[in-house]
Amino acid sequence: MVFEIEERDLAGRTGVLKTRRGEVETPCLMPVINPVKNLISPRELKEKFRFKMIITNAYLILKHFGKDAPDVHSLTGFEGAIMTDSGAYQLLIYGGVETSPQEIVEFQEKIGSDIGVILDTPTGGFASRADAERTVEETIRRAKTSFRLRKDPTMLWAGPIQGGKYLDLIRKSAKEMGKMDFHTHPLGSPVQIMEGYDYTTLVDMIVTAKRNLPPNRPLHLFGAGHPMMLALAVALGCDLFDSAAYALFAKDDRYLTTRGTFRLERLSELPCSCPVCSQHDQKDLLEMPKLEREEALARHNLYATAAEMRAIRQALREGGLWELVEARCRTHPRLYEGFKRLGKYAKYLEENDPVVGKGVRGVFIYDRLSLRRPEVLRHRHRVVENYARPPGKDIGVFIPNPQERPFVKSKEYQEARAILEGSPSHICFYGEPFGVVPSELSETFPLSQYEYTPGSGINIVAEIRRFIDANAYRKVYIVDPSESIFLKGTITLESITQLRGQLDENLA
């Protein structure tokens, strides 16, 4: 088994990708390195920044060193797993490459790549429908041809998914590539989409690819590495990332954070505690010689990106990925549009989100968008579709959510239960954010383990009506805080006594 899934949250997962150079923990970001010259040495990427896998370009190695190029690990000085790209990005940018699909497959095996990529034909973010169809068909054709060229059974291969912004073409590409013997699947052509901050389309692309690929294969989002959007991509199901942003942004004096990108000259403080920012202030960096400043910024950008990947893995393990995604997506309006797009895929997220054994923390509900998280939707669906009231309890008594949680520990519930004891009544709670909560379920996760902002937007009346219709009560009593029977919205002994009197009268 090449990829072993360990824990899940939303559609994200932690896992282990097994390469011949050792195991790589996912979600994982691979820094892109130039095979000839780098600001940060590949050896340092592993020893100081703790990256276990990097990616470099086999085509550039072929161009610079020829067919007799040395092993890619000795060439780079990196002893961990190395993925090599095939030159398809150069094909997208420059319109052509001086190699063939056959040559680049054989060359990647020769230089000892741990994960190779076929020379696909990238769609790009602005391709016409006709051009997009051509790139998908040609990539599939080249993928099929690549199998007869493989000689090394210990090497892993990546089968790229093309189609650009045309979701039906992504669907076709993913289904066809998923039938073939590949180990990972990069989603091609997202860079131009991300450069345009079109996160809504990016969400559509990722979910479409994921839904049509084998679930036991990692999805690699090509060219994605800005720390502010990684959590969203992981939540949708991406396992691998690669990026040269740390170095490219540093050349333009740009400083990466989870809140976005900042021009160094516009900062008055360095909002980070990495080694670079702990040892220098903004003025120090600006006064450095250009190359020295570029290297320092590249280091900061790497630290910021690596820290975010650790934060994502930790949030995923503790069941807090939704909160992290929500926090990150509120840093930029276009990223927030991508977050809102999750509502379209609420069922997809709920299907992939684990029901049991999830996390160690409660659920936070901020507003209407938070109500789309799987835990809320799952309860509201299952309490109607899968739940049945206790036998013989055919009189429904619905009382507002008490302040104390679990609700069954509250004074209001204990008094109601004592007064109604012996009657065929079934006590349920109602209110935000979960709608109807049967008393016997109120201690189950997350019906007691949550914090919320009142007024989040749930239609309580509709939720109660759906629950009542599904359980066919003979009589229903809904205790409404707006009625005179209540005192400041809390249940009193007198009001429940009156209710018991009505029950006894009806039963007689």
Planar angle of CA 340, 343, 349, nearest 5 degrees? 120
Planar angle of CA 459, 412, 490, nearest 5 degrees? 60
Instruction: Tell me which of 85, 120, 204, 353 is the catalytic residue.
Output: 85
List helix spans (H) across 227-362: 230-236, 245-251, 275-279, 282-287, 290-317, 321-329, 333-340, 346-352
The 10 Å Cβ neighbour count of residue 368 is 13
DSSP string of 439-485, one letter each residue: GGGTTSTTSSSEEE-S-----HHHHHHHHHHHHT-SEEEE--TTSTT
Structure tokens at 134: 């051509």
Q: Is residue 85 annotated as a catalytic residue, yes or no?
A: yes
Are the C-beta atoms of residues 84 and 116 closer than 8 Å to each other? Answer: yes
The answer for 187, left when phi > 0, alpha when psi is -120 to 50, beta otherwise, is beta
CA distance 331 to 319: 21
The DSSP bridge partners found for residue 54 are 82
CA dihedral 433, 436, 441, 446 (to 10 degrees): -10
CA distance 299 to 272: 12
**Residue type at position 418:** A
411-420 helix and 493-507 helix, angle to the nearest 10 degrees: 30
Active site residues: 85
